[in-house]
Amino acid sequence: MLKKTIMLLLFFCLLTTNTKVEPKVSVFKISTRELQYGPEPWQTCTNVFPHYTDNVDSPIMIFIHGGGWVSGDKSEILSKVKDFVMKTGFPALNINYKLSDINQQILDIETAIAFSKLQTCSNGTYFLYGYSAGGHLAALTAALTQETGLVGVVGVGAPLCLEDWVDYCDAFDEQPPPPEVVTNNLIPTMGEDWLDYSLTNLALGPYYTPTLLLHGTEDFIVPTAVNDCFVDEIAPDARLKELPGNHLLLDKEDTEFSEFFKYFLAG
């Protein structure tokens, strides 16, 4: 009987040792501070961090704003980031990056990743969480980076399959989709070889990073169908889901992330 009890205790210890740490959600307050995550003047971020009832090391959420690769600022999604941190308990870095330069944008995100691992609340792991073009940058960086510790990617209204997005925009004869996305967005950022930066054309083999793609049911800028090819051809384990809402304002976004964390990652 004693031997059996010892074996059960050992088994339980192994289970608890191998389980990823999930942050407490008993958050009663959040704070923000402005930080420089790298030496370049544009490499700034807002650190949004929760005050737990217990201190917990956890993954850092790295938020990446949208703006068609050529515009935008972290301030535009700050309220979303604060709300997310309050509801989920994950600390966050909401970053700026150099506009209209895809290779520098990837480097900026990698620099932010390295910086995130230095934070006292970090356990050395991180999520990349991007809106619109920021979601494309999140998935692209996940596919290309050599940085360790990536837990997962979340893209909200993110055009991962660029060729399908361009075809959709060309066929849409009224706003809001920008009618000249190749001329105004893709070529200024990625050059004439912009197709090389589509997630379907990287030629890296299967994409294994756990990925959650969220689209609004009323999103006429980047509809769900734009990313069907990513799930069908590149990342069969990715979760592609529609929520009530438009391009970037989705209902229960944090709830979907919590389910994603629980079922895809924490097990």
Higher pLDDT, 20 or 204: 204
Query: What is the C-alpha separation between 26 and 53, in angstroms, rounded?
Result: 6
35, 45 contact by CB (below 8 A): yes
What confidence score (pLDDT) does residue 56 get?
A: 64
Residue with tokens 């996940």: 142
Higher pLDDT, 25 or 12: 25
End-to-end CA distance of the chain: 30
> Quick one: which of 138, 153, 149 has its CA closest to 57?
149
109, 101 contact by CB (below 8 A): no
What confidence score (pLDDT) does residue 20 get?
A: 45
What mean pLDDT is predicted for residues 86-109? 95
Name the phi and psi angles at 36, rounded to 5.
Answer: -105, 115
DSSP secondary structure string for all residues of the chain? -HHHHHHHHHHHHHHHHHSPPPPP--EEEEEEEEEE-SSSTT-EEEEEEEEESS---EEEEEEE--STTTS--GGGGHHHHHHHHHHH---EEEE---TT-HHHHHHHHHHHHHHHTTSTTEEEEEEEEEETHHHHHHHHHHHH---S-EEEEEEES---SHHHHHHHHHH--SSSS-TTHIIIIIHHHH-TTGGGGSTTSS------S-EEEEEETT-SSS-GGGGHHIIIII-TT-EEEEESBSSS-BTTHHHHHHHHIIIII--
Is domain 29-265 annotated with CATH 3.40.50.1820?
A: yes
For 26-44, write each residue's pLDDT tens digit: 566 899 999 999 999 999 9
What confidence score (pLDDT) does residue 146 get?
A: 87
Query: What is the C-alpha separation between 259 and 267, in angstroms, rounded?
Result: 11
227, 159 contact by CB (below 8 A): yes
What confidence score (pLDDT) does residue 232 get?
A: 87
pTM: 0.87
Q: How confident is the model at residue 4 (pLDDT cuts 50, 70, 90)?
A: very low
What confidence score (pLDDT) does residue 21 get?
A: 41
Indicate whether 156 pLDDT > 90.
yes
Higher pLDDT, 107 or 265: 107
Indicate whether 97 pLDDT > 60.
yes
Each domain of the chain, given as residue ranges in start order, spans 29-265
Task: Tell me the pLDDT of the chain averaged across its residues.
Answer: 84
What mean pLDDT is predicted for residues 179-190? 90
Sign of the torsion angle spanned by Cα atoms 234, 156, 213, 60 = positive
What mean pLDDT is predicted for residues 171-191? 78
Query: What is the C-alpha separation between 63 and 44, in angstroms, rounded?
Result: 12
Task: Give percent of the chain above pLDDT 90.
Answer: 60
For 112-129, write each residue's pLDDT tens digit: 999 999 988 888 999 999
What confidence score (pLDDT) does residue 54 get?
A: 56
What confidence score (pLDDT) does residue 11 get?
A: 28
What confidence score (pLDDT) does residue 261 get?
A: 80
What confidence score (pLDDT) does residue 198 get?
A: 94
Indicate whether 24 pLDDT > 90.
no
65, 128 contact by CB (below 8 A): no
